[in-house]
Amino acid sequence: MRTCRRALTVLALTLPLTAMGAVPVVDDNSGSAGSSYPPSGYGTAGAYAGGGATAQPSAQGQLFMQLQQMQDEISRLRGIVEVQQNDIQQMKQEALDRYKDLDSRIGAGGAPAAPAANNSASDGGVNAGGASAASAGAAAAQASQTSTEPGDPAKEKLYYDAAFDLIKAKDFDKASQAFAAFLRKYPNSQYAGNAQYWLGEVNLAKGDLQGAGQAFAKVSQLYPKHAKVPDSLYKLADVERRLGHTDKVKGILQQVVAQYPGTSAAQLAQRDLQRL
């Protein structure tokens, strides 16, 4: 009996201990049973710092980046505007220079600078663009065939003066039309050389560089002995410069200096050659 009682007593004492050993350990601070340790999110900042994950930019960061991009775009646009303003200013200055130059030439008078005999082509005449005197004579002969009226100096002068008055009135479109019509009617007139030259001036004042260059070139081609040839060649060099044909400018200026020494055009050409 004593042995049975001792066995029961030992069994009663060992059962609670066995039951306690089977109960799992629960971390009360984790908020739920079975959660991992360390808690979720632990060390996240350290992972960002160490490159373990890519941090998304905050709203403030995104706003800063957008502002920076806008500032860069504004700076680029300002640069474009400044370039355009400089180009416009240069164009205005060139137009003003053309008008001043035209005014000074108008003030010098529009009367013919050479008699009718000097309008015809002759041996030894110069030609812009490398045309020979013979080709200039052929061009003049071809132009004479377009004349629709016989020569009448009084009528020609009235027609020419009317066209020149349009220049004084700054009506360059009508002046261009008037001089072109005059040259079609009276290509052999004593006023034709002057009319051809002023047609170039009018087209230049209009900003028609192609038309101006063609008109100036024809002065030396059709009227190689005319007194306006040096001026027309110098103005042709100016047109070629404006068109960006720098390879032609130097040759024309050298032609003026070599073949027309002592003229105002030669002096201006020499100055321009020194600047090239």
DSSP label at residue 39: P
Q: Is residue 78 part of a domain?
A: no
Structure tokens at 58: 């905050």
Residue 173 lies in a domain: yes
| Residue 112 CB-density burial (10 A; 0-12 exposed, 13-18 middle, 19+ buried) | buried
Q: Does some domain include residue 170? A: yes
Residues 170, 172, 178: CA angle, nearest 5 degrees: 120
Q: Which residues contact 267 (CB under 8 A, 6 or more apart)?
A: none
Cis peptide leading into 38, omega within 30 of 0? yes
Could you list the pLDDT tens digit for every one of the 276 residues in the chain? 555 556 555 555 555 545 445 445 444 444 444 444 444 444 444 444 445 455 667 888 888 888 888 888 888 888 888 777 766 666 555 555 555 565 555 555 554 544 433 443 333 333 333 333 333 334 434 444 444 556 788 899 999 999 999 999 999 999 999 999 999 999 999 999 999 999 999 999 999 999 999 999 999 999 999 999 999 999 999 999 999 998 899 999 999 999 999 999 999 999 999 988
Question: Any idea what the CATH number is for the domain that residue 184 is in?
Answer: 1.25.40.10
The answer as to whether 136 is a domain residue is: yes
Residue 225 belongs to a domain: yes
Number of domains in the chain: 1
- Assigned domain for 10 exists: no
Range of the domain at 131: 126-275
Could you tell me where the DSSP H helices lie in 33-58?
A: 44-49
Instruction: Assess if residue 218 is contained within a domain.
Output: yes
Tokens found for residue 274: 């020194």
Rounded-to-integer distance, Cα 22 and Cα 24, Å: 6
130 assigned to some structural domain: yes
